[in-house]
Structure 1
């Protein structure tokens, strides 16, 4: 059996490893434009701000490692066309310009995502940079040593981390986003407000609710003009999101509106013998029970594993995702899983919510720290649909707990009575997640009583 894998970051890497694990005698050919694979781009901000022990450890696999497993690696090769009817790839060697055709029996499309680069006047300036791949990482790291100021455009996870990183380096930092709050797509306003205060307290200038209209290269830097203000810095970094890298062939498939390939629970696309995974594909979002585009490395890894398990026959179904995520900014943890209230409203989904702040462990301890928490649930079924936490205490693993609760359709009543441990070093007799669920139960019951 001949298998071709187009694109090899996370989903492609795990597809190749698991196909060869399941079928070591198959001919697996991998085509990747870059000279590297498996780069953990979520670590770029950490590296730029001198918090990475060794950048080489930001790669968990290599072309050589996949070759040892039996893969035929074609690095710095671009797939320029796919003939789905005759099952052939047109390939160009980006080093010497040679071209050739590659036949396949099964095709895996893991072409990933590309950064969104809006057609804003002046965006081609050498002082306007991107934050996506290893090349971008090297450029940002090199610049960080010399610059005195930076403007980060986009206050999602990547932009938020990068702005925090520049601030910790002592750079004059500005963070801009068209949305009204920092991390607006990940957290509700009460938690965004906490982050915004930390940015301001650490000297970061915020331009929330501002749309970038142009860039002006000054020779030594760049002026960023928004619909409300003008900002100047040595560099500006675009972190405004990603789009699926499927433009070349998206019209051949059933897709989401943005071009992400629709896949079923076994990673099949709408075309026979063609699989997809990762940022090129849709995911099944459990809180809303539909297909969405959620480009996370965790989703890519799991889907890549499933390609390997299902490449010959359907054996392992996708469990879906809650889009669980976390970030640390200025020593504070932000962690979430599932729906926020605002996201639910955008989707037109009726939900109920509650917020609670409680110390994570007893007040008789020499120290304790408050945890701000939100919980989202279905008012009809009382099933948990989302939750978020923020604290100077590490609450990240509680988001994983909420993820499991959402996936298994746990109710607020059940979550409030889960058998959590108690030990004063770690929590209270009523664990803070139980307390949050208990507040949800009390609110839900009071509404029923009305």
Structure 2
């Protein structure tokens, strides 16, 4: 069997390694248009901020490793066309211009995503940068050295992490977002209010609920300000972080996709064409909170899905368990974990939910120190099934987001979590773990609503 893999970041790397580890006799050809593979873009802010000194640590594989396993790896090769009937691809060697065809028995599409570039007047001015791959990270570091004022457009995870990195480096930072809250996909208002207040106290300018309508440049074509309907913000450098879109032009109209172009896969990573598999940011995920599909580009999803491609490339063996979009964030001393839906985002997934918000210390007050935990549990009305959760503290509570993720995947109810067995030891927690306490608050809320 011959397998062609298009794209080799997280999903592609995982797919290739698993295919060859489990089935070394399979012929695997990899086409990657960049000059590197497996770059952890989630580490860009750490690299930009100087926390990561050696960027080689942000790569967990390389072409040589894949070749040593038996893959034929063609770097800086761009797949220009896929003939799904004849089962062949047309490939261009970017360095030489040579164009050739290659046939396949099965195709793995792991082409990933690309930053959204809005059609804003002036978007092509100099020093307006993207933040996705290794080369862009190096460009960002080089151009930010002499910049005093930096503007981040987009208040998601990447944007917020860059805000922290540049603020810690002594830059004047402005964050612009078209929505009225930062991190709105991951956290509800009770959490983002705390974080926004902290950012303002640190001198970071928040221009929320404002859409960029233009970039202004000097005579040299370098950006000097960003315009919104509410004002103009001077800047030396702009980083666009407004989201991602799937890279699926090659398969448009040939496999089933969501309206945004994300490929739909089954429980074994097969597309609607049984000889084409897909994984990673090019795909929709099976979203457990509502049992539907969603576009959630995360490295964790990509690695899992790519591994499952490898497990199922010959025949369906290992089922995809879906995702809860679980994530963690460290921001100016706050440890933040979230999973599943927020109360504000639940209607988007056609979920009718209620929630409880609880503040409590993570361990007893008689201990020399303790820290407050702000936490929220989101559950479905009628079934009491847990569908989301958020936690934030100066103490590291982020692993509890993984616990809540497991609760969602296994369709646990608020009562299940309220009385589940967690250990007690004063160094670490209370007689009732804070997750027990959170779920018990939800149970009590439902008891009162039922008039019992």
Q: Which category describes the TM-score, using the shorter chain as reference length?
A: over 0.9
- Where does residue 160 of structure 2 map in the other structure? 160
- Where does residue 75 of structure 2 map in the other structure? 75
- Where does residue 326 of structure 1 map in the other structure? 328
Structure 1 residue 100 displacement after superposition? 0.7
Structure 1 residue 211 displacement after superposition? 0.5
Task: State the secondary structure of the residue aligned to 2:89.
Answer: strand
Whether the 8 Å CA contact 2:178–2:211 is kept in 1: the answer is yes
Structure 1 residue 195 displacement after superposition? 1.0
Is there any run of 5+ residues in structure 2 with no aligned partner, and where? none
Task: State the secondary structure of the residue aligned to 1:439.
Answer: helix
Determine if the alignment matches structure 1 residue 214 to structure 2 residue 194.
no
- Where does residue 266 of structure 1 map in the other structure? 268
Determine if the alignment matches structure 1 residue 197 to structure 2 residue 187.
no
- Where does residue 397 of structure 1 map in the other structure? 399
Whether the 8 Å CA contact 1:8–1:32 is kept in 2: the answer is yes
Task: State the secondary structure of the residue aligned to 1:449.
Answer: coil
Structure 1 residue 345 displacement after superposition? 2.5
- Where does residue 48 of structure 1 map in the other structure? 48
CA distance in 2, matches of 1:71, 1:252: 27
Structure 1 residue 439 displacement after superposition? 0.5
Determine if the alignment matches structure 1 residue 314 to structure 2 residue 333.
no
Which runs of 4 or more aligned residues in structure 1 lie more than 6 Å from their structure 2 counterparts after TM superposition?
none
In structure 2, which of residues 390, 398, 412 is the aligned counterpart of residue 410 of structure 1? Answer: 412
Task: State the secondary structure of the residue aligned to 2:345.
Answer: helix
Structure 1 residue 145 displacement after superposition? 2.1
Whether the 8 Å CA contact 1:127–1:222 is kept in 2: the answer is no
- Where does residue 240 of structure 1 map in the other structure? 242
CA distance in 1, matches of 2:323, 2:259: 20
CA distance in 1, matches of 2:348, 2:232: 30
| Deviation sequence 1:185-232 (CA, Å, 0-9, x none) | 110001011110111111100011000101011245421001212101
Whether the 8 Å CA contact 1:377–1:383 is kept in 2: the answer is yes
Task: State the secondary structure of the residue aligned to 1:3.
Answer: strand
Task: State the secondary structure of the residue aligned to 1:305.
Answer: helix
Structure 1 residue 250 displacement after superposition? 1.6
Whether the 8 Å CA contact 2:127–2:143 is kept in 1: the answer is no
CA distance in 1, matches of 2:264, 2:49: 37
- Where does residue 61 of structure 1 map in the other structure? 61
Determine if the alignment matches structure 1 residue 290 to structure 2 residue 296.
no
Task: State the secondary structure of the residue aligned to 2:176.
Answer: strand
CA distance in 1, matches of 2:301, 2:242: 20
CA distance in 2, matches of 1:250, 1:271: 12
Determine if the alignment matches structure 1 residue 180 to structure 2 residue 180.
yes
Aligned length: 450
- Where does residue 306 of structure 2 map in the other structure? 304
CA distance in 2, matches of 1:269, 1:15: 15
CA distance in 1, matches of 2:397, 2:416: 21
Worse overlay, 364-373 or 217-226: 217-226
In structure 1, which of residues 219, 223, 226 is the aligned counterpart of residue 225 of structure 2? Answer: 223
- Where does residue 281 of structure 1 map in the other structure? 283
Whether the 8 Å CA contact 2:379–2:385 is kept in 1: the answer is yes
CA distance in 1, matches of 2:227, 2:212: 6
Structure 1 residue 315 displacement after superposition? 0.5
CA distance in 1, matches of 2:118, 2:409: 35
Structure 1 residue 359 displacement after superposition? 0.8
CA distance in 2, matches of 1:331, 1:49: 15
CA distance in 2, matches of 1:227, 1:421: 54
In structure 2, which of residues 355, 360, 365 is the aligned counterpart of residue 363 of structure 1? Answer: 365
Task: State the secondary structure of the residue aligned to 1:179.
Answer: coil
| Deviation sequence 1:79-136 (CA, Å, 0-9, x none) | 0001110011100000111111001000000000010001100001111110111111
Structure 1 residue 72 displacement after superposition? 0.2
Whether the 8 Å CA contact 1:416–1:436 is kept in 2: the answer is yes
- TM-score normalised by L of structure 2: 0.98
In structure 1, which of residues 331, 335, 338 is the aligned counterpart of residue 337 of structure 2? Answer: 335
CA distance in 2, matches of 1:277, 1:30: 15
CA distance in 2, matches of 1:414, 1:299: 26
- Where does residue 136 of structure 1 map in the other structure? 136
Structure-to-structure mapping, 1:96-107, within 5 angstroms:
96-107=96-107
Task: State the secondary structure of the residue aligned to 1:207.
Answer: strand
Root mean square deviation of aligned Cα? 1.0
CA distance in 2, matches of 1:253, 1:156: 30
